[in-house]
Amino acid sequence: MDLLLPIIKPYAWGSREALARLQGRTTPAAGPEAELWMGAHPSGPAGLTRDGRATTLLDVVTDDPHAELGTECAERFGGRLPFLLKVLAAEQPLSIQVHPDQEQARAGFAAQASDGGRGPYVDDWPKPELLHALTRFEVLAGFRDREEAARLLRGLEVEALRPVIGLLHAGTDERALSAALRALLEWPPEARADLVHSVVSSCRRAAGSTGPAAAAYGAVVRMSRHHPGDLGLVASLLLDRRVLEPGEALFMPAGGLHAYVHGVGLELLANSDNVLRAGLTAKEVNVPELLRITNPAVRVPAVTPTRVQGPGSTWLYDCPAAEFALYRTDLDGSRIPLVPATGPRIAFCLDGSASLRATAAGSTPVRLGPGTSCFLPDSDGEALVEGNGTLFVATVGHRPDRRDTPAQPSVPLI
């Protein structure tokens, strides 16, 4: 097994405190630190030292995928580590975004290749993801109920929104939500500033009341401080607002429109960086492609961990994703078998300490402290772990029959 040197992504919405504090570094950091990547994606592979030589997890897996991933995993995923583990620290709201399913990613990436590589797809993989809250984490995840969205917009008393409210009252739930989203994101450029100003002003007046509507309006006001004049502020009212408490988790399927607003969380996803954005960002947006990919029928379920049988206290966060699975072990000083026992694994120590050792003769233990991680190749086989603290283990999923199946039936946008 190998200690990992994660990659920090310094996106503007990141925190100067959270990741540095997690890793025991001086705070505040010199600049925003948004994501801690522990994986083998080409745009940010974690470093490691193997046989005395500095290399990356990507190179190690590429050189011998069958030993590192196991034959079944290597053949199933084309010799690629199928998951990417991150710590996400959102000090400011992330963009309103959506991720493609397998078929969409392959088609989009192939079309770009024939067009000189220009376009929004950076790889040919889907990007379903699991978010596990480490602090209170505010998210906009999936669409609201159609009638609820109409009530929110109507409560603003903004005359310009009347046609959008009318769309929400017409047609089926999915088609009505699709039509409303399209109307907002394709608002005439010359009228956008007035619309956003009117909506934010109304939200500011209404945010002082009580109830779910006030919370939704308050989120718009807070996001407007970071993204003034952004059309995504209006579109965000179509999305379902949730606040995850520490330890709670949700699964974001491909096609689900979402925006992570504020908090620190552990994120496990398919090994992809495909993101299509529509607002709340200074990065490039691609409204036509986002509208094509977004599926308003997608539901964003909470993920309740289930206890794994055996010694120790290990929990599985089961998701309908073939690419990944997440385990959490609450260490109490006992020496217990690491779960799972096979396959490629990335172990991440959230707090306390953990010592891991493969059971094979001659293996060397690896000690993890808060914010540190290691990679266990399939060739290491079974391992033991002991310590006191919280250890997460990311590994490949166990649902090969679902890899090429979208999470929800496609609903075309109108």
Enzyme catalytic residues: 277
At a CB cut-off of 8 Å and minimum separation 6, what does 65 contact? 74, 79, 80
At a CB cut-off of 8 Å and minimum separation 6, what does 194 contact? 160
316-329 in b/e burial notation, b at 16+ Cβ within 10 A? bbbbebbbbbbbbb
**Can you spell out the DSSP letters for 246-283?**
TT-EEEE-TT--EEEEEEEEEEEEES----EEEESSSS
CA 330 to CA 338: how far, in whole Å? 11
Report the candidate in 126, 138, 130, 132 with the shortest Cα–Cα distance to residue 98.
126
Measured from the Cβ of residue 409, the count of other Cβ atoms closer than 10 Å reads: 10
Amino acid code (one letter) for 317: Y
In which residue are the tokens 């993801």 written?
A: 129
Torsions phi, psi for 317 (to 5 deg): -95, 95
- Sign of the torsion formed by the C-alpha atoms of 33, 35, 38 and 43: negative
Q: HSE (CB half, 13 Å, CA atoms) of 140?
A: 28
128 touches 267 (CB < 8 A): no
At a CB cut-off of 8 Å and minimum separation 6, what does 313 contact? 307, 329, 330, 332
Radius of gyration for the alpha carbons in the chain, expressed in angstroms and rounded: 22
